[in-house]
């Protein structure tokens, strides 16, 4: 397997710290609002990373944080005259609901920043004691000048970090690039007691503690959106390097931006969509297909036309599976050599820096085999099994009964099944004329009938 490592800016052979085990951390939300469709790309992609390692038989420990204390949460609490705990809990619950609706598996650990406050204070104390941080009037800053490796993840040099548009001027700091580890609380804000007085932690320190608490000093993969490379991930990595001399993670993976019909998503342009908004209009697996149909590091342009095309593509997968009873495609026994070759190609695609676009193309190859074969053909049945297996690795086919039943209204399904039963009775009575008449009438309505020794099945031609 090769992964593109942001830290080295190249593809590298992926070798986990412990053979057969994967320690993965991906940044979760700051819970002050519903997460937007761009965030959903990261959450879905790292869900696929986790699923693929599990498909390979690896023992995965996946950690995703929830930041439940932050400036934005406090600002919203003040604006709405609510307790910050109430704001955080409301949107943390919404985040979990929306992730479940998107078919994202729950991480093994999902810590919240307020749950690890003693560990956060202890880490900051160690940075101060080691000379990598300093306190000024109740605020504590990381001294970027104390770490020669600062900037190694993002490629940004410390001398380029001048006070200005991207780096806020703060006369308390030794250098404009120095970042806050502990922030002195203002009147009316939430507080925790610390050696530096009442205050609260900085965002970058929270994630270091939450990841290391479950994954150790240095772990395999740290992921998130490309917008997090600097300053968030750079500043996370700096704290870890300062204390241990090791990078926080060996491999850093970042997914590309999402644009809305060619423009950056923003509330001012009125093209800002939450995942919850989109889920009201489109199926979760269509959204998943849309994101996975392009390489995760590439920018992607969101249009309703592309989502609708994605929904049709997913419907084709289900249409292929629907040609067989579920007991056939859920059977894991696959012996056909061509299907096994497709699985090898699928693994090669995923092992090449998670090329999900190529992996999805192989799912279409399987649907074509099914489409061109009779349902009783062993290769077609093995292709259905492989489609279900590999599609499941990408997070599809989580609720096949729901999807298959939604394609046709219940009463229409019942009527079709009733006509098939009449046709079966006619065949049993060797009334071939009536049997053929029912088949031809259904075919005229776009309903394809397939007869096999196991019985008759039907599908709607699209």
- Token pair recorded at residue 180: 């806050």
Q: Are residues 242 and 305 in the same domain?
A: no
The residues near 25 (Cβ < 8 Å, ≥ 6 apart) are 62, 63, 64, 65, 211, 215, 219, 221, 222, 223, 249
Question: Residue 411 — pLDDT band, cuts 50, 70, 90?
Answer: low
List b or e across 107-128, with b for residues whose CB sees 16 or more CB atoms inside 10 angstroms.
Answer: bebbbbbbebbebbbebbbebb
Asked if the structure places residue 265 within a domain, the reply is: no
Are 53 and 176 in the same domain?
A: yes
Residues 356, 423, single domain; the answer is no
Give the pLDDT confidence score for residue 165 in this predicted structure: 44
Q: Are residues 238 and 371 in the same domain?
A: no
Looking only at the bridges linking them, the beta strands covering 258-260 and 263-264 are antiparallel
Q: Would you say residue 346 lies in a domain?
A: yes
- Residues 163-190 pLDDT 10s: 444 455 577 899 999 999 999 999 989 9
Whether 440 shows a pLDDT value over 90: the answer reads: no
Percent of the chain whose pLDDT exceeds 90: 76
Give a yes or no: residue 232 inside a domain.
Answer: yes
Q: Are residue 187 and residue 333 in the same domain, yes or no?
A: no
Does residue 145 lie in a domain region? yes
What is the distance between the alpha carbons of residues 196 and 184, in angstroms, rounded to a whole number?
8
> In 10 A of CB 51, how many CB atoms?
18
For the domain that residue 330 is a member of, what is the CATH number? 1.20.120.640
Give the pLDDT confidence score for residue 407 in this predicted structure. 54
Q: How far apart are CA 456 and CA 422, in angstroms?
A: 12
pLDDT, tens digit, 9 for 90 and up, residues 244-303: 999 999 999 999 999 988 787 766 677 888 999 999 999 999 999 999 999 999 999 999
Count structural domains, the chain. 3
Cβ contacts of residue 47 below 8 Å, gap of 6+?
103, 104, 105, 395
Answer whether residue 121 shows pLDDT above 80.
yes
Q: Residue 168 has what pLDDT?
A: 55
**410 is written with which tokens?**
């219940």
Q: Which of 34-48, 103-117, 402-416 has the lowest mean pLDDT?
A: 402-416
Q: Which domain holds residue 306?
A: 282-406
DSSP helix/strand/coil, 122: helix
Please report the DSSP string for 280-298 in residue order: HHS-HHHHHHHHHTS-TTS
pLDDT at 325: 87
Bridge partners, residue 219, by sequence:
249
What is the Cα 24 distance to its own chain's centre?
A: 13
Q: Are residues 385 and 452 in the same domain?
A: no
Between residues 11 and 419, the one the model is more confident about = 11
Are 146 and 35 in the same domain?
yes
Say if residue 147 is in the same domain as residue 212: yes
Spatial distance between the Cα atoms of 53 and 321, rounded to a whole number of angstroms? 25
How does pLDDT run across 318-349, given as a tens digit for each residue? 999 998 888 999 998 999 999 999 999 999 99
Element (H, E) at 258: strand 258-260
Q: What is the mean pLDDT of the chain?
A: 91
Query: For residue 248, what pLDDT is reported?
Result: 98
* Statement to judge: residues 337 and 417 lie in one domain: no
Predicted TM-score (pTM) of the model is 0.86
Residues 382 and 419 in one domain: no
Q: What is the pLDDT of residues 74-84, one digit of tens each?
A: 999 999 999 99
Pick the closest to residue 273 from 77, 34, 449, 99 (CA basis): 34
Which of 318-327, 385-394, 420-429 shows the lowest per-residue confidence on average (mean pLDDT)? 420-429
Radius of gyration of the chain (CA): 27
Residues 227 and 192 in one domain: yes
């Amino acid at each position: 397997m090769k992964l593109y490592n942001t830290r080295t800016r190249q593809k590298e052979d992926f070798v986990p710290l412990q053979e057969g085990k994967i320690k993965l951390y991906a940044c979760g939300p700051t819970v002050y609002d519903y997460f937007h469709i761009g965030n959903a790309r990261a959450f879905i992609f790292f869900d696929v990373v986790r699923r693929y390692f599990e498909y390979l038989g690896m023992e995965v420990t996946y950690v995703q944080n929830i930041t439940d204390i932050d400036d934005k949460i406090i600002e919203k609490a003040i604006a709405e005259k609510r307790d910050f705990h109430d704001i955080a809990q409301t949107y943390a619950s919404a985040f979990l609901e929306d992730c479940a609706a998107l078919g994202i598996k729950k991480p093994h650990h999902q810590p919240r920043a307020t749950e690890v406050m003693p560990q956060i204070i202890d880490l900051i104390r160690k940075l101060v004691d080691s000379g990598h941080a300093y306190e000024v009037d109740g605020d504590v800053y990381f001294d970027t000048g104390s770490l020669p490796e600062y900037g190694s993840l993002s490629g940004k040099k410390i001398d380029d970090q001048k006070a200005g548009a991207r780096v806020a001027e703060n006369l308390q700091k030794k250098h404009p690039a120095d970042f806050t580890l502990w922030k002195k609380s203002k009147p009316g804000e939430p507080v925790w007691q610390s050696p530096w007085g009442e205050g609260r932690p900085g965002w970058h320190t929270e994630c270091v503690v939450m990841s290391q608490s479950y994954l150790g000093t240095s772990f395999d993969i740290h992921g998130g959106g490309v917008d997090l490379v600097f300053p968030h991930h750079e500043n996370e990595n700096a704290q870890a390097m300062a204390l241990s001399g090791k990078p926080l993670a060996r491999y850093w993976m970042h997914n590309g931006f999402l644009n809305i019909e060619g423009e950056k998503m923003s509330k001012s342009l009125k093209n800002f969509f939450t995942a919850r908004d989109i889920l009201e209009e489109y199926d979760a697996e269509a959204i998943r297909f849309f994101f996975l149909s392009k390489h995760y590091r590439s920018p992607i342009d969101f249009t309703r036309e592309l989502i609708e095309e994605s929904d049709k593509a997913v419907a084709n997968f289900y249409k292929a599976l629907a040609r067989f009873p579920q007991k056939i495609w859920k059977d894991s026994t696959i012996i056909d050599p061509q299907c096994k070759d497709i699985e090898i190609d699928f693994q090669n695609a995923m092992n090449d820096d998670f090329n999900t676009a190529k992996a999805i193309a192989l799912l279409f190859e399987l649907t074509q085999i099914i489409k061109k074969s009779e349902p009783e053909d062993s290769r077609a049945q093995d292709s259905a099994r492989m489609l279900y297996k590999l599609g499941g690795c990408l997070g599809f086919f989580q609720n096949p009964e729901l999807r298959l039943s939604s394609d046709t209204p219940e009463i229409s399904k019942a009527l079709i099944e009733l006509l098939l039963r009449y046709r079966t009775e006619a065949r049993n009575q060797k009334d071939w004329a009536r049997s053929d008449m029912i088949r031809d009438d259904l075919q005229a309505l776009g309903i394809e009938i397939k007869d096999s020794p196991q019985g008759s099945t039907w599908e709607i031609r699209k």
